[in-house]
Chains A and B, each alone.
Chain A
Amino acid sequence: MGPNIPPLHLVGIELIYTLIIIIFCGIIYFKTKEIYDLSKHKGIGFFRNTFLFFALSYLVRFLGQLFILYRSILHISMRRFIIKPHFVIFPLITYFSYVAILSLVFSSFRKTKKTNINWNLVIHLLAIISTFFVFLSGSAMILIGLQFALFIVAIVLINIKPKNKKNKSMFSSLHVTYYLLFFFWIINLFSFERGPTSFILNSLLNIFSIIIFYSITHRVIKRLSNVQKKG
């Protein structure tokens, strides 16, 4: 079915999908601004960074798709470019998504060890190192491999929680949401690497990703408005 669909339709769908994800990320980022400004709580800061950088990752991913599609439509040769576009797109996606995922992981992990480590610096250093590898290789598969490794590390780190935590389960609803968020991000990268070949598969992938972002946004709004009513 995919090849019969005009590419512009796919571009349109991807544009709407990207906009929805960016809007959800924006809602989370701006809704939590006030409580962050008042508390300067590091966990809230990392949480906000997660959605800021996820929004940037999705934006670059969309721009990359747009470029790939239009290059194929207009038959633009890659030889016209001094710097190959994927040498810019892949590293940018790597950097933004690494900062996003690591920020979410460190938002809770940093509580397990009371140290003076500047976790923000650690996150950006790890992201820069990964970006460097992806830039050197210029390969989407290296990017996906690194993201998958990070996904495994994230599952381990998210589960290293302080002992007095109420929820010790590996499968709390919040953790499951985070695992799905990471998982669908990696699947999204696969889809980006392969190109929009199947309309149905792409649509399903987009719908699932939107549901995950919606559930987090809904939880943020509900939490902020619920307590406001009590106060």
Chain B
Amino acid sequence: MSKKRDRLEVIYDILIIIRDKNNSIKPTPLLRFSNLSSQSFNEYISELLNKEFVKEIYDKKNKKFYSLGDKGFKYLEKYEIIKGFIDDFEL
């Protein structure tokens, strides 16, 4: 049984999913791929939108998609540094 993901891992997983889907994914598949409950997913996505890690975009049919913001890309770039730092300093 895999261990429970911490907050930083969940954020990383969500951002990776969006990036790997050509930086554009609908809410329902993102929820499915992220392996979170609806409630948790909504909490995380609200946090990511507030922090501008993720942005909402709408197509011509007014369908909602999620896409990475600059901060989202930055987070993915720095994720290994953050995890390494936390492990090294036992934080």
Binding site for B on A (CB under 8 A): 32, 34-35, 38-39, 41, 43-44, 46-47, 107-108, 111, 161, 165, 167, 174, 219-220, 223-224, 226-228, 230-231
Contact = CB atoms under 8 A, between A and B. Distances in A.
B43 interface: no
Contact of A224 (B74, B77, B81, B91): B81
Contacts of B89: 43, 47, 107, 174, 219, 223
Across the A-B interface, give the 10 residue pairs with the lowest CB-CB distance, nearest first: A43-B91, A227-B81, A227-B84, A35-B82, A108-B90, A39-B82, A227-B80, A223-B88, A38-B75, A107-B91
A100 B8 CA distance: 25
A43 B86 contact: yes
B86 A44 contact: yes
Contacts of B77: 231
B85 A32 contact: yes
B85 A223 contact: yes
Contacts of B86: 41, 43-44
> Range of interface residues on chain B?
10 to 19
A231 to B, nearest CB: 5
> B-side binding surface: helix, strand, loop or mixed?
helix
A227 B81 CA distance: 5
B91 A46 contact: yes
Interface in B48-91: 71, 74-75, 77-78, 80-82, 84-86, 88-91
Nearest to B74: A38
B64 to A, nearest CB: 25
A35 B90 contact: no
B91 A35 contact: no
Nearest to A108: B90
